[in-house]
Amino acid sequence: MVLEAAVRGLGAPRGPAFLTPPINVTQAGGGSTVPKTVVPSQPPRGGRILAAAALVAALTGAAAGTAGAVGARLLEGLEPAPAAALPRVAPAPSASLTGLSATAARVLPSVVSVETRSAGGSGFVVDGSGHILTNAHVVRGSSTVTVVLHDGSRLNARVAGADDGEDLAVLEVDHPGELTPATLGRSAELSVGDQVLAIGSPLGLSGTVTSGIVSALDREVRLGGSRRTAVQTDASINPGNSGGPLVNARGEVVGVNTAIAASRGGGNIGIGFAIPIDRAAPIAERIIRN
Please pick, among 110, 113, 122, 167, the residue that the annotation labels catalytic: 167
pTM confidence score: 0.68
Q: For CA atoms 156, 202, 228, 254, give the dihedral sign.
A: positive
**Ramachandran class of 103: left when φ > 0, alpha when ψ lies in -120 to 50, beta otherwise:** alpha
d(CA 206, CA 199): 9
pLDDT by residue, tens only, the chain of 290 residues: 444 444 444 333 333 333 333 333 233 333 444 444 444 445 444 444 444 444 444 444 544 455 454 444 444 555 555 666 777 666 655 566 778 999 999 999 999 999 998 888 999 999 999 999 999 999 998 988 999 999 999 999 999 999 999 999 999 998 888 899 999 999 999 999 999 999 999 988 999 999 999 999 999 988 767 889 999 999 999 999 999 999 999 999 999 999 988 766 666 688 999 999 999 999 999 999 98
User: If 0-12 CB within 10 Å is exposed, 13-18 middle and 19+ buried, where does residue 41 land?
Assistant: exposed
**137 counts as catalytic:** yes
Phi then psi dihedrals of residue 125, to 5 deg: -75, 130
C-alpha–C-alpha distance, residues 98 and 251, integer Å: 12
Residue among 110, 215, 236, 242 flagged as catalytic: 242
Output the CA–CA distances (angstroms, integers) from residue 84 to 15, 27, 75, 77, in the order listed.
Answer: 35, 7, 21, 16
Does 164 qualify as catalytic in the annotation? no
> Residues 133, 6, 248, 236: is their CA dihedral positive or negative?
positive
Q: Which of 122, 131, 137, 215 is catalytic?
A: 137
Contact between 122 and 240 (Cβ < 8 Å) = yes
127 is catalytic: no
Q: What is the pLDDT of residue 51?
A: 45
pLDDT for 1 equals 44
AA identity, residue 92: A
Provide the pLDDT for residue 266: 62
The confidence score (pLDDT) of residue 6 equals 44
H or E element, residue 62: helix 48-78
Q: What was the pLDDT predicted at 176?
A: 83
